[in-house]
Structure 1
Amino acid sequence: MKFDGRVAIVTGAGGGLGREHALALASRGARVVVNDLGGARDGSGGSATAAEAVVAEITAAGGEAMPSAASVTDFAAVQAMIAEAMERWGRVDILVNNAGVLRDRTFAKMELDDFRFVVDVHLMGAVNCTKAVWDIMRERNYGRIVMTTSSSGLYGNFGQSNYGAAKMALVGLMQTLSIEGAKHDIRVNCLAPTAHTRMTEDLGARLPLEMLEPSLVTPGLLHLVSEAAPNRCILAAGAGGFERAYVTLTQGVRIVGEDAPEQVAARFEEISDRAGEIVPEMGAAQGFIELSKAQKALGEG
């Protein structure tokens, strides 16, 4: 799997997963924009040192890279980063939205500012970066974009309502962009990693850290940004394991009438039956399925 001639942007690449992604892409021929604000885990502070250190690693190994300390929450700064990459290399082929922060608290104790900030970094940061490269990729009829989601968003996690909401929102963003970008060969996917990084250091006592190296996640990322990448995939990865997550829809039942609420309650197990469940190609499929039930019922009546 080679990336010769490709230009990749990796956000949050000053350490952890982002650093591994950037190093791996560069080692396989990509020219890499190493973006990292250089702030603390909660998003405070900032320094270009982290990004510059990774660029130094790449260049020392014979690769080509440029640092960026732009905040992904600042659209003007993101646009300037993309403009610099375009001026230097003339293209952008790959975007890895990896930047993130944590401000964990139970919902009862969480300040709304902490909720907004986490959503702003994870969701709007990915939106800003994606918007800045979208037309470039459309014009070239090629693009590979990865959103970094999380099991905390897919399945929930105590004390992470802000983080979980932002991470699941990225799945929704991916679902639509993968449809809109398909005709331009822009493939958009999600990566749900499990790895020991600065973001998970508080869980250290409960995790076999030696098995959770970030480098064990990166092979999945490389596939998601390769020429042979899938489209509209949620790939989970960690400790060398790779799985796919799906948002599915059961076949369900049709219920109408004055006692419909009671019937929904009485037949909830039938509604929840996963036999024959599907992965809809787009959101309208839900309406089509429901209408087909109604039309069938009317025809039988």
Structure 2
Amino acid sequence: MLKGRVVVVTGGGRGIGRAHCLELARHGATVVVNDLGVGLRGDDVGESPAEEVAAEIVKLGGEAVADMASVTDWDGVGAMVGRIVERYGRLDAVVNNAGILRDGMITRLREEDVDQVLAVHLKGTMALTHHACAHWREVARATGEQVAGRIVNTTSGAGLASNVGQAVYGAAKAGIANLTLVTAMEMARYGVTANAVSPVARTRMTTSVGMAEESRSGGWDPMDPENSSPVVAWLASAESGWLSGAVLRVDGNTVHRVQPWTVLDGHTAAGGERLSAEEIDSGLRRVFGVLPGGIASLSRR
């Protein structure tokens, strides 16, 4: 499926990212494993998982190389794209998977934590998306033909539906989902697609927020980090060119299509020629089905 295609995976050294790299290589892709080897909070722990995954792929007969560019470094990411194109003569797909976790209730957040989480997740995804798209646009303009560029972003349930204690992480993941839609619109003319996956999996991040260590069903583990990788491999292929702007929730062996924010039919409050503040209370109570004195909250719905 991916023979001859070059794919870069950020955060490819562990967990879901590692699984993506191995699956991509299994289908013939040349994989650039990007990972700084930092800890869950983004701290330097002196590890080199990117080199280990690249070596594992080579040992299995595939082709891979490690790259230590930081996704938070805008120019550094651009240089990484340049190195890939110089070495292989092409870049076909990017998988934005890098992430860190610094959770906290909204009243206890530190500015440093906000900046770091947004930098890795949202800015990091945007940086690689920008540089890859700029490259593909140049190729398309030079050749006069569309390219088969593929962008696969990583969002999460916290970004799609929210979660207590994950204001920054959720905001970043929601931003990534929207970035996916915008990129799909802007890059369609060049033959570039952009989609996002939301994996349900047991990882360093999920276990840190209380998800069970073990969740197995017979010989197959529905929480295995590898479960979303076949979807990512397909999205990185030329065959997936008909799909763009999609957010896919991958839960075990099931793929769900997720809709963006949408207006709900039958849940509308309308006024006269112009809304007045005085009529909003009664109108929205009808929309949310709330009696006087009641409270409508997403946590209760």
Q: TM-score, normalised by structure 2?
A: 0.84
What does the per-residue CA deviation read over 1:111-145, in whole Å, with 9 as the maximum and x for residues that have no partner?
A: 12101110111000011111111122222422110
What's the counterpart of residue 271 of structure 2? 255
What's the counterpart of residue 66 of structure 2? 67
The question of whether the paired residues in 2 share the 8 Å contact of 1:37 and 1:47 is answered with no
Q: 1:169 aligns with which of 153, 175, 178?
A: 175
What's the counterpart of residue 295 of structure 1? none
The Cα RMSD (Å) is 2.0
* Distance in 2 separating the partners of 1:89 and 1:206: 40
Question: Could you say if the C-alpha distance between residues 31 and 206 of structure 1 is closer, same or farther in structure 2, counting changes exceeding 3 Å?
Answer: closer
* Distance in 2 separating the partners of 1:206 and 1:14: 20
Structure 1, 215-224 or 190-199: larger mean CA deviation: 215-224
What's the counterpart of residue 116 of structure 1? 115
Query: What is the CA distance between 1:249 and its match in structure 2?
Result: 2.0
What amino acid does structure 2 have at the position aligned with 1:232? G
* Distance in 2 separating the partners of 1:48 and 1:77: 20
Count the aligned residue pairs. 272
What's the counterpart of residue 142 of structure 1? 148
Q: 1:266 aligns with which of 275, 278, 282?
A: 282
The question of whether the paired residues in 2 share the 8 Å contact of 1:40 and 1:46 is answered with yes
Query: What is the CA distance between 1:271 and its match in structure 2?
Result: 5.1
Question: Could you say if the C-alpha distance between residues 42 and 259 of structure 1 is closer, same or farther in structure 2, counting changes exceeding 3 Å?
Answer: closer
Alignment of 1:33-182 (within 5 A): 33-45=32-44, 47=46, 49-138=48-137, 139-140=139-140, 141-182=147-188
Structure 1, 38-47 or 203-212: larger mean CA deviation: 203-212
The question of whether the paired residues in 1 share the 8 Å contact of 2:77 and 2:128 is answered with yes
Query: What is the CA distance between 1:172 and its match in structure 2?
Result: 1.4
The question of whether the paired residues in 1 share the 8 Å contact of 2:38 and 2:47 is answered with no
Q: 1:243 aligns with which of 256, 270, 274?
A: 256
What does the per-residue CA deviation read over 1:193-233, in whole Å, with 9 as the maximum and x for residues that have no partner?
A: 11111122222437626430011111221232222321000
What's the counterpart of residue 298 of structure 2? none
What's the counterpart of residue 205 of structure 1? 212
The question of whether the paired residues in 2 share the 8 Å contact of 1:51 and 1:67 is answered with yes
Question: Could you say if the C-alpha distance between residues 47 and 129 of structure 1 is closer, same or farther in structure 2, counting changes exceeding 3 Å?
Answer: farther
What amino acid does structure 1 have at the position aligned with 2:284? F
* Distance in 2 separating the partners of 1:114 and 1:151: 20
Structure 2 portions without partners, runs of 5+: 141-146, 290-301
What amino acid does structure 2 have at the position aligned with 1:174? T
Q: 1:228 aligns with which of 218, 239, 246?
A: 239
Query: What is the CA distance between 1:250 and its match in structure 2?
Result: 2.9
The question of whether the paired residues in 1 share the 8 Å contact of 2:6 and 2:90 is answered with yes
Query: What is the CA distance between 1:255 and its match in structure 2?
Result: 2.1
What amino acid does structure 2 have at the position aligned with 1:266? S
The question of whether the paired residues in 2 share the 8 Å contact of 1:48 and 1:67 is answered with no
What does the per-residue CA deviation read over 1:144-183, in whole Å, with 9 as the maximum and x for residues that have no partner?
A: 1011011101111111001000000111111111100111
The question of whether the paired residues in 1 share the 8 Å contact of 2:148 and 2:238 is answered with no
* Distance in 2 separating the partners of 1:200 and 1:165: 17
* Distance in 1 separating the partners of 2:49 and 2:193: 29
The question of whether the paired residues in 2 share the 8 Å contact of 1:37 and 1:46 is answered with no
What's the counterpart of residue 295 of structure 2? none
Q: 2:226 aligns with which of 215, 218, 223?
A: 215
What's the counterpart of residue 3 of structure 1? 2
Q: Secondary structure at the match of 2:183?
A: helix
Structure 1 portions without partners, runs of 5+: 274-301
Identity %: 36
**Of the two structures, which has the highest relative contact order with CA contacts closer than 8 Å and spacing of 6 or more?**
2
